[in-house]
A and B are shown apart, each in its own frame.
Chain A
Amino acid sequence: MEDQIANLSDIEVTLTDLMMVLAVPISFAIQFIKALADKVEFFKAEEIRKSLFPMISIALTIGAYYIAGVQDFVIAGVVMGLAASGGYQAFSGSAKLIKPVATTAGVLLLCSILIFGCETFKSDPKAELLASQKTFSATVDSLTILQVAGKFSTEETEQLTVLIHQGQDYLIEWEGALKAGSTRPDAISLFQAVLDQLLEYELAKGGD
């Protein structure tokens, strides 16, 4: 099967369907390990959790990719392991990785990585738009669930409302541009920036 390329900052990783499929159960396995660790006093220390869970996630992902025969399994395992654990948050210095919402955001982040870093979607502008619409809907739905659960302050809610409406507007602009014959409208990068910010909010709520 043809491989796709995903660019993550300066790191280039070859994504395959197998890697994407494996990333989902790995993210749930990490969440299960976190739940077990909650039962042990030693693992409740924030500093231990910050470094331990991303490392476990990376090791698990590297191991799974090695067993599955994934090429470049080390670097792919590091990148996908971080995404699966919500570990990007750990490296931003405010890691609270305990709640499953971080895993959900990690899965949505993987979807975003696949859409915007993948040659398959870039080769089909309508598919790229459709995948973005679906990911955006799921992200907004997840944020709504958190909103109903009282996870956001009034200020955060106001900021999220602005971002969510911006995201919807950019998608409509993107769709209009495609119909007008443009294949790479500016709305794509603007939408991607909004989606990244929404996922940051979701990741940030992982330990609240």
Chain B
Amino acid sequence: MSTTSALLVLRLVSEGVGVAKEIADLAKRVQAGDEITDAEIEQARNKVAESVANWDDASKQE
């Protein structure tokens, strides 16, 4: 496996593990009765916009 391929794998694995932990933590918070705030929703919305913008940039550089 080349260094480039290894780095690609590491970045993908990091994405998958990162979000899995966040979702599991979120489920535990809900079960504990913790309330989700509007600020968290807004922050996640901004992250979505950032991810979409990154995709657009990457696809334009094709």
| Chain A residues close to B by CB (< 8 Å) | 1-2, 4, 17, 20-21, 24, 28, 99-101, 103-108, 110-111, 114-115, 118, 120-121, 123-124, 126-127, 129-131, 133-138, 140-149, 154, 157, 160-161, 164-165, 168, 171-172, 175
Give bound CA distance, A121 to B52, whole Å.
Answer: 24
Would B41 and A175 count as touching, CB distance under 8 A? yes
Would B48 and A171 count as touching, CB distance under 8 A? yes
The answer, among A120, A133, A143, for a CB contact under 8 Å with B27, is A120
Tally of A-B Cβ pairs under 8 angstroms: 139
Known: A133-B47, A134-B22, A171-B45. A123 touches B30 (CB 8 A): yes
CB-CB under 8 A from A110, the residues of chain B are: 20
Give bound CA distance, A138 to B50, whole Å.
Answer: 11
Would A144 and B26 count as touching, CB distance under 8 A? no
Would A141 and B15 count as touching, CB distance under 8 A? yes
Distance (Å) between the CB of A25 and the closest chain B CB?
A: 10
Residue in chain B with minimal CB distance to A135: B19
Would A144 and B45 count as touching, CB distance under 8 A? no
CB-CB under 8 A from A121, the residues of chain B are: 27, 30
The A contact surface, by secondary structure, is: helix
CB-CB under 8 A from A131, the residues of chain B are: 23, 26-27
Give bound CA distance, A171 to B49, whole Å.
Answer: 11
What would 9 A/B residue contacts be, using CB atoms closer than 8 Å? A1-B31, A108-B16, A108-B19, A110-B20, A114-B27, A134-B47, A140-B48, A147-B62, A149-B4
The answer, among A120, A143, A172, for a CB contact under 8 Å with B30, is A120
CB-CB under 8 A from A120, the residues of chain B are: 27, 30-31
Residue in chain B with minimal CB distance to A151: B8
CB-CB under 8 A from B19, the residues of chain A are: 107-108, 111, 134-135, 137-138
